[in-house]
Structure 1
Amino acid sequence: MRTVKELRLAGLFAYLAALVLALLFSLLVHFLLGGGGRLGWGGFNFYGLLEGLAFLLFFTFALYVAQRAVRVPCTTLLTAGLLGPLPAYRLAKPLPQVEAPEAYEGRGVALLVQEGRPIGLLGLSDHIRPLEEVPSVEAEAAVSELYPLFLREPLVLVVRGEEVLGAIFREAFYRLAP
């Protein structure tokens, strides 16, 4: 799972690459038209409008290709990495903790802890599910990277080291995630 920082950096590089490629393509069109295009402060003409249109079309195409290549959210790409996706810990809801399975009242999902360490989850099925079988992500992982996990699982645990910060449920993910 990629972090928010990695996605923002990938969005910046993809945006800059698309911009440079579009400028180079516009320069190529400028030279192919004989260098007579003017689109800017000094005035404009038909060749200048063609160069501007070539820039816009190629820039749009390059952004599309860049988004497919680096798989970043659209807002991150279009803002050149200024706006990144949410980190996973922002969507995580804390889970109630129980010391023994007998103390579980059967409402919702609870974290089973033993000697202060989490060992499993109660409430997902009719038995205790070991923590190793539940998908988990680091707290700084980008929420946009969690889509494949929610195709198979109803929740994803958010951890920082050995500490369980909470869980993101499928319904909340689809409702709140961008």
Structure 2
Amino acid sequence: MRTVKELRLAGLFAYLAALVLGLLFSLLVHVLLGGEGRLGWKGLNLYGLLEGLVFLLVFSFALAVASRAVRVPCLTLLTAGLIAPTPARRLARPLSRVASLEAYEGRGVVLLEQEGRPVGVLGLADHILPLEEVPSVEAEVAASELYPLFLRQPLVLVVRGEEVVGAIPREAFFRHLGI
């Protein structure tokens, strides 16, 4: 799972690579046409429009290829990493905590603690699920990276070290994606 910082860098590098490719192909067309193209402040002609069109096509195609290659959210890619994807900690909702099975009232998902340390999750199955069996991710992982987990699991825990920050239910995740 990639963190927000890694996705921002991947988006920046992919955007810059697409920009450089677009500029290089535009320069190649400019040279092939004898340097007659003008598209800008001093004038405009057909060769200049052709150079601009080549830039747009190559840049767009390179962005499309880059988005598939690095799997970065579209907004992060198009802003060259300036707009970061949502971290998992922002989607996580705190879980209620119980110290014993007798305190569990049977409503919702709760975190079972023993001696102040989380040991399992109640409310997902008919029995206690040990913490190791529930998928968990670090708080700084990008939420867009969690999609494969939610295809198999109804809930993902968000942790920071040994501390459980909260949980993301499948419905909340898909609502965040707009699905």
For Structure 1 versus Structure 2, the TM-score category normalised by the shorter chain is over 0.9
> 1:162 Cα shift?
0.4
The equivalent residue for 1:51 is 51
Question: Does structure 2 retain, via aligned residues, the 8 Å contact 1:158–1:167?
Answer: yes
> 1:103 Cα shift?
1.3
> 1:167 Cα shift?
0.1
> 1:79 Cα shift?
0.3
RMSD: 0.8
TM-score by length of 1: 0.98
**1:101-116 → structure 2 map (5 Å cutoff):** 101-116=101-116
**Structure 1 alignment gaps of length 5 or more:** none
The equivalent residue for 2:160 is 160
Deviations 1:69-96 (A, max 9, x none): 1110000000010001111111100000
The equivalent residue for 1:100 is 100
Distance across 1 between alignment mates of 2:58 and 2:94: 47
The equivalent residue for 1:130 is 130
Question: Does structure 2 retain, via aligned residues, the 8 Å contact 1:143–1:177?
Answer: no
Count, aligned residues: 178
Distance across 1 between alignment mates of 2:56 and 2:77: 16
Distance across 2 between alignment mates of 1:27 and 1:69: 25
> 1:31 Cα shift?
1.4
Matched, 1:120 2:120: yes
Distance across 1 between alignment mates of 2:153 and 2:102: 25
**Structure 2 alignment gaps of length 5 or more:** none
TM-score by length of 2: 0.97
Matched residue of 2:141: which SS? coil
> 1:177 Cα shift?
3.6
Question: Could you tell me the percent identity over the aligned residues?
Answer: 79
Deviations 1:99-120 (A, max 9, x none): 1112111000000000010000
Matched residue of 2:21: which SS? helix
Deviations 1:9-67 (A, max 9, x none): 11011101100010000011111222211111110100110000000010000000111
**1:8-157 → structure 2 map (5 Å cutoff):** 8-157=8-157
2:127 partner letter: H
